[in-house]
C-alpha cells in the first residue's frame, strides 16, 4: 500500500512539475491534435475533441498502472501495462473508423442507385440528396438528413456539399460528392448515366476489396495473437509476486524493454506487409 501511495504521489508531482518547467512544442501538439481529429471524424465521432480522447488515454493509463502496481508490486510491469492501456482508446477509435469505412463502402452503391432513380423520376439533385435522409441506407441517413436541413436553411448547394463531405469523412463519399458537384455545375442530361456507371464501379470495387480483406484477415489475426500472447502470460504471472519482482531489477527492465520493442516492431512490420492500399480523401 505504501508503494502504491508513493507511486501516485510521485506521478502527481511529476505532472505538476512538467506543466510549469518542460518546454511545449506547440506545432507538434497541433499535428497530434490534427491526426486525432481526422481519426475521430472518420469514426463518426466529430463531437468528441482530440483533447478529450487524450484525457481518456491518460486516465486509462493511470488506472491500469495503479491496478497493476497493486497486483504485482513491480513498477516496470505497471508502466508496461499502463502504456498499453493508454493506447487502447486510440486503437478502439481506429477500429471503429475502419468498420465505418467498410460499412459505407458496402452501402454507397445502393445510395447512388437511389439517386439515379430519383433523378430519372424528375427530382432535382438537391431534393434527391435530401430524400436519402429518409429512404437511403441506414448508415447514411443521418448525414443526408443533416444535408437536407442545411439546404433548407441556406439554399447553397456547394456549401452544403462541403459540410456533407466533412460529416461523412469518407474517401468514397468524397468521390460521389465531387462527381455530383461537377454534374450540378456543368449540367446536361448525362447525370443519370453518370450515376449508374458510378454505382456499378463502386459495387465492383467493394466486392473486390471485401475478398482481399477476407484473405488478409488471417495475417492480421495472427499478428495480433503473436503480440498479445507474451503479455497475457506476463499478466497471469503478475499474480505470483515472488516471480515478477525479478522484473524490478535492471536486467528485468532490460528484458521488458527489449520484449516491448520487439513486439511493437514485429506487429508494425506484419501489419505493413499485410495491409491493403488505403484510399485517400480528395479535395478535403
DSSP assignment of 14-41 equals HHHHHHHHS---HHHHHHHHHHHHHHHH
CA geometry: angle at 267 spanning 261 and 270, to 5°?
135
Residue 28 confidence (pLDDT): 40
Average of per-residue pLDDT across 266-274: 78
279 falls in which pLDDT band (50, 70, 90)? low
Residue 282 confidence (pLDDT): 63
252, 75 contact by CB (below 8 A): no
Rounded to the nearest 10 degrees, what angle do helices 26-42 and 50-72 cross at? 90
24 falls in which pLDDT band (50, 70, 90)? very low
Contacts of 1 (CB under 8 A, 6+ apart): none
Cell triple for 262? 520487439
Q: Is the pLDDT of residue 5 over 70?
A: no
Residue 14 confidence (pLDDT): 58
Residue 30 confidence (pLDDT): 40
Q: How far is CA 229 from CA 83, 87, 225, 257, in A?
A: 17, 18, 6, 16
Query: Radius of gyration of the chain from Cα atoms?
Result: 25
Q: Is the pLDDT of residue 27 over 70?
A: no
195 against 31, higher pLDDT: 195
Residue 237 confidence (pLDDT): 84
- DSSP letter at 248 equals G
Please state which of the ranges 11-20, 85-94, 137-146, 182-191 shows the lowest mean pLDDT: 11-20
Distance CA 222, CA 175 (A): 34
174 against 274, higher pLDDT: 174
Residue 26 confidence (pLDDT): 37
Question: What DSSP string describes 180-231?
Answer: HHHHHHH--S-HHHHHHHHHHHHHHHHHHHHHHHHHHHHHHHHHHHHHHHHH
Cell triple for 217? 484477415
Distance CA 171, CA 284 (A): 9
- Looking at every residue in the chain, the average pLDDT score rounds to 80
Average of per-residue pLDDT across 35-60: 88
Q: Which of 137, 74, 84 is nearest to 110 (CA)?
A: 137
12 falls in which pLDDT band (50, 70, 90)? low
Residue 62 confidence (pLDDT): 92
Q: Is the pLDDT of residue 194 over 50?
A: yes
Cell triple for 134? 429518409
Amino acid at each position: 500500500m505504501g508503494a502504491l501511495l508513493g507511486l501516485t504521489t510521485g506521478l502527481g508531482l511529476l505532472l505538476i512539475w512538467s506543466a510549469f518547467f518542460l518546454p511545449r512544442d506547440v506545432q507538434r501538439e497541433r499535428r497530434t491534435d490534427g491526426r486525432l481529429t481526422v481519426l475521430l471524424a472518420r469514426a463518426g465521432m466529430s463531437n468528441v475533441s482530440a483533447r478529450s480522447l487524450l484525457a481518456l488515454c491518460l486516465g486509462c493509463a493511470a488506472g491500469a498502472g495503479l491496478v497493476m502496481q497493486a497486483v504485482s508490486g513491480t513498477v516496470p510491469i505497471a508502466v508496461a501495462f499502463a502504456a498499453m492501456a493508454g493506447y487502447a482508446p486510440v486503437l478502439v477509435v481506429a477500429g471503429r473508423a475502419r468498420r465505418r469505412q467498410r460499412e459505407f463502402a458496402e452501402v454507397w452503391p445502393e445510395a447512388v442507385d437511389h439517386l439515379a432513380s430519383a433523378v430519372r423520376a424528375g427530382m432535382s439533385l438537391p431534393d434527391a440528396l435530401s430524400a436519402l435522409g429518409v429512404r437511403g441506407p441506414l448508415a447514411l441517413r443521418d448525414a443526408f438528413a443533416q444535408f437536407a436541413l442545411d439546404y433548407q436553411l441556406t439554399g447553397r448547394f456547394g456549401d452544403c456539399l462541403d459540410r456533407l463531405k466533412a460529416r461523412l469523412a469518407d474517401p468514397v463519399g468524397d468521390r460521389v460528392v465531387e462527381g455530383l458537384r461537377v454534374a450540378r455545375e456543368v449540367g446536361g442530361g448525362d447525370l443519370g448515366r453518370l450515376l449508374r456507371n458510378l454505382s456499378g464501379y463502386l459495387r465492383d470495387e467493394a466486392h473486390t476489396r471485401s475478398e482481399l480483406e477476407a484473405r488478409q484477415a488471417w495475417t492480421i489475426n495472427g499478428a495480433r495473437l503473436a503480440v498479445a500472447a507474451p503479455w497475457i502470460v506476463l499478466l497471469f504471472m503478475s499474480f505470483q509476486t515472488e516471480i515478477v519482482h525479478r522484473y524490478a531489477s535492471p536486467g528485468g527492465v532490460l528484458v521488458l524493454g527489449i520484449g516491448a520493442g520487439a513486439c511493437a516492431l514485429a506487429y508494425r512490420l506484419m501489419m505493413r506487409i499485410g495491409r491493403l492500399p488505403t484510399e485517400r480523401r480528395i479535395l478535403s
